[in-house]
Chain A
Amino acid sequence: MAEDVLASLTLTAALAATTTVALLILAPPLAWWLAHTRRRGASLVEALVALPLVLPPTVLGFYLLLAMAEDAWLGASWHSLTGQPLAFTFSGLVLASIIYSLPFVAQPLTASFRNTPTELLDAASVMGIAPATRFLRFMLPLHRRALVAAGVLGFAHTVGEFGIVLMIGGNIPGETRVLSILLFDQVESLDYASAHLTAAILLAASLTALTLTYGTLRRR
């Protein structure tokens, strides 16, 4: 029983960490583009990024489940690339989590990037700094607090994921059975003692992580 919890805890941590790392690589360039582009298509892209905030996770999960089937485009191309299926696997969960948690990382970054003083961008240009270098070497460190906040939100949101995991991950121990699913199982089978332990771990871990992060942000 305790092994169940430990396995789910490790899996949840691995899923949240992988998703957060992936999002911290993908989201900053996207957020920078959204913050500064004047292209017409930008509002459509922004809406797509924000969509998981609005849609019930089951809707997203349903479409992802269809796309990840062995004979569907996403599942098939993944299979030909890696030889592995995507649905009901850890990789499938990571991919879904990236999409699902994207707005929680991209939105605070976009807001922070939009507040970059124009004269700093101008100054970098007249100093002879190329746009890519300007972004990587100067803008990311300048917005490091927003990056930390976005990372924490992305991590926390992935830990709290339930509906989408249920749709595309199923309930495979060590592969897709994350803590939130385990808790659901335990309550379904009326095992309240175990449910208390799982719920308490989720609660304590989330609260500790958030408190530590906000404490760090406060100290600057």
Chain B
Amino acid sequence: MSLTLKGRFAQPGGFELKADLELPGSGVTSIIGTSGSGKSTLLRLIAGLSRSPDFHVALNGQDWSALPTHRRPISMTLQQPALFPHLTVAGNLRAVPGASRFEEATNRFGLEGLLGRKPAALSGGQQQRVALARAYLKPAALWLFDEPLSALDAMARAQLAPMLSELCRSLGKPVIYVTHALSEVVQIADHLVILEDGQVIGAGPPGKVAAELDHPLSPLIDTGAILVVEFDAYDKDHDLSTLRIGTQTLRVRGNLSQAPSPLRVQIPARDVALALVRPVGTSILNCLDVTLTGLVPTPDGAVFAELDCNGQPLRAGITRLSQDNLRLVPGMALHALVKSVALDVRGGWAQLPE
């Protein structure tokens, strides 16, 4: 089982996308990149909404080149809900040819009370739920999500994110999830593809991709590091959860006792600072003992300090001046001060207090 994407696609205006990918035929694959990186174009090529004789899409060896979009076995949500404005919610759902499990879909996406309404009378989050239900009604072998949360405000996003994560886990079908925010998929992605400027600059399991990326990433997709942690304890008085990385601990706000374990947390490189001695008198709660494994200069003048934290890779973004001041050499023992930790806890982002 696999999805093959191979070839090149040139857009009028000079942008060119190149790919030679073999994506797993199960689980969630997330395509990550900034705007203009070609991630949505790649998804449109899979769906057949964009086509080129030089770009080939095949699912399990079956070539899709001759298949128009409406014949491809896909379910897809677009960046916009794109509901028919002249039809009610029920009308929009019944527009799906061969729609099965109507009741199940309306229950699952909480649409029972909205069936008679027109899209204009729905909030952005409700519209996106209808779009998800519409995709759910179509029998499909492959799911495609194009930035499903990007058009929503923070509140609607917090409501929809857990629904989406649950959907991705329970579908039992391969999912391709396009986003510009790694934090959105850090819990659910089994496979990452990082795109920049129409090129694939990293692909593989999340921890591996994040650690191996030595490319000057834009701050928007500062993948930093992805660590696997386990819940340890919850301190009710301070509303802090303790997470365990081997023998060390991370503390984050909120009660994570019900969260799935192990958890994946993302730590952006720009939120990690380095110290030679364990600092005292600081408000930063998290200080990890690490070993410096390497220094990677970035073309924009900064330096990535590659760190080892109990066998897991961590990364700090520092200036060249700090590198000189601290006299950093690989093999040194250091203390990494972590300013923020992003993790998806039932849809809300728990941010570590500084």
A residues neighboring B (CB under 8 Å): 117, 119-120, 122-131, 133, 137-138, 141-142, 144
- Indicate if the CB atoms of B49 and A122 lie closer than 8 Å: yes
Residues in chain A near residue B95, CB distance under 8 A:
124, 127, 129, 137-138
Q: Contacting B70 at CB < 8 Å: which of A119, A120, A125, A141?
A: A125
Contact with A along B116-158 (1 / 0, CB 8 A): 0000000000000001001100100000100000000000000
- Indicate if the CB atoms of A142 and B84 lie closer than 8 Å: yes
Residues in chain A near residue B256, CB distance under 8 A:
none
Of chain A, the residue at the smallest CB distance from B71 is A128
Q: What are 16 contact pairs spanning A and B, CB under 8 A?
A: A117-B82, A119-B79, A120-B82, A123-B134, A124-B70, A125-B47, A125-B48, A126-B47, A126-B69, A126-B135, A127-B95, A128-B96, A128-B138, A129-B70, A141-B86, A142-B85
Q: A125-B49, A127-B95 are in contact. List 13 more A-B contacts (CB 8 A).
A: A119-B82, A122-B49, A125-B69, A126-B74, A126-B76, A126-B78, A126-B135, A126-B144, A127-B135, A128-B98, A129-B97, A141-B86, A144-B86
What separation, in Å, do the CA atoms of A141 and B118 have in the docked complex?
14
Residues in chain A near residue B69, CB distance under 8 A:
122, 125-126
Q: Contacting A127 at CB < 8 Å: which of B68, B85, B96?
A: B96
Expressed in whole angstroms, the minimum distance between the Cβ of B223 and any Cβ of chain A is 29
What separation, in Å, do the CA atoms of A150 and B266 have in the docked complex?
57
Of chain B, the residue at the smallest CB distance from A142 is B86
Residues in chain A near residue B96, CB distance under 8 A:
127-128
What separation, in Å, do the CA atoms of A141 and B87 have in the docked complex?
9
Kindly identify, within residues 71 to 95 of chain B, every residue whose CB is under 8 Å from any CB belonging to chain A. 71, 74-76, 78-80, 82-86, 95
What separation, in Å, do the CA atoms of A123 and B132 have in the docked complex?
12
Contact with A along B206-246 (1 / 0, CB 8 A): 00000000000000000000000000000000000000000
Expressed in whole angstroms, the minimum distance between the Cβ of A121 and any Cβ of chain B is 9
Of chain A, the residue at the smallest CB distance from B69 is A125
Of chain B, the residue at the smallest CB distance from A123 is B82
Residues in chain A near residue B144, CB distance under 8 A:
126
Residues in chain A near residue B138, CB distance under 8 A:
127-128
- Indicate if the CB atoms of A130 and B78 lie closer than 8 Å: no
Of chain B, the residue at the smallest CB distance from A125 is B69
What separation, in Å, do the CA atoms of A201 and B249 have in the docked complex?
91
What separation, in Å, do the CA atoms of A77 and B98 have in the docked complex?
46
Q: Contacting A138 at CB < 8 Å: which of B68, B75, B84, B134?
A: B84
Expressed in whole angstroms, the minimum distance between the Cβ of B43 and any Cβ of chain A is 10
What separation, in Å, do the CA atoms of A144 and B98 have in the docked complex?
26
- Indicate if the CB atoms of A128 and B82 lie closer than 8 Å: no
Of chain B, the residue at the smallest CB distance from A130 is B70
B residues neighboring A (CB under 8 Å): 47-49, 68-71, 74-76, 78-80, 82-86, 95-98, 131, 134-135, 138, 144
What separation, in Å, do the CA atoms of A122 and B50 have in the docked complex?
10
Residues in chain A near residue B70, CB distance under 8 A:
124-131
Residues in chain B near residue A141, CB distance under 8 A:
86
**A125-B70, A127-B134 are known contacts. Are A119 and B86 too (CB-CB below 8 A)?**
no
What separation, in Å, do the CA atoms of A120 and B96 have in the docked complex?
13
What separation, in Å, do the CA atoms of A128 and B139 have in the docked complex?
10
Of chain B, the residue at the smallest CB distance from A139 is B84
Expressed in whole angstroms, the minimum distance between the Cβ of B42 and any Cβ of chain A is 15
What separation, in Å, do the CA atoms of A137 and B70 have in the docked complex?
15
What separation, in Å, do the CA atoms of A165 and B80 have in the docked complex?
51
What separation, in Å, do the CA atoms of A133 and B84 have in the docked complex?
14
What separation, in Å, do the CA atoms of A138 and B95 have in the docked complex?
9
Residues in chain B near residue A131, CB distance under 8 A:
70
Q: Which 10 A-B pairs have the closest CB atoms?
A: A123-B82, A125-B69, A119-B82, A126-B76, A119-B80, A128-B97, A125-B70, A128-B70, A127-B96, A142-B86
Of chain A, the residue at the smallest CB distance from B48 is A125
Residues in chain B near residue A117, CB distance under 8 A:
82
Q: Contacting B49 at CB < 8 Å: which of A126, A127, A137?
A: A126
Expressed in whole angstroms, the minimum distance between the Cβ of B92 and any Cβ of chain A is 9
What separation, in Å, do the CA atoms of A195 and B76 have in the docked complex?
65
Residues in chain A near residue B68, CB distance under 8 A:
125
What separation, in Å, do the CA atoms of A189 and B266 have in the docked complex?
93
What separation, in Å, do the CA atoms of A70 and B135 have in the docked complex?
59
What separation, in Å, do the CA atoms of A173 and B95 have in the docked complex?
51
- Indicate if the CB atoms of B97 and A119 lie closer than 8 Å: no
What separation, in Å, do the CA atoms of A166 and B150 have in the docked complex?
62
Of chain B, the residue at the smallest CB distance from A144 is B86
What separation, in Å, do the CA atoms of A141 and B49 have in the docked complex?
24
Residues in chain B near residue A122, CB distance under 8 A:
49, 69, 78, 82
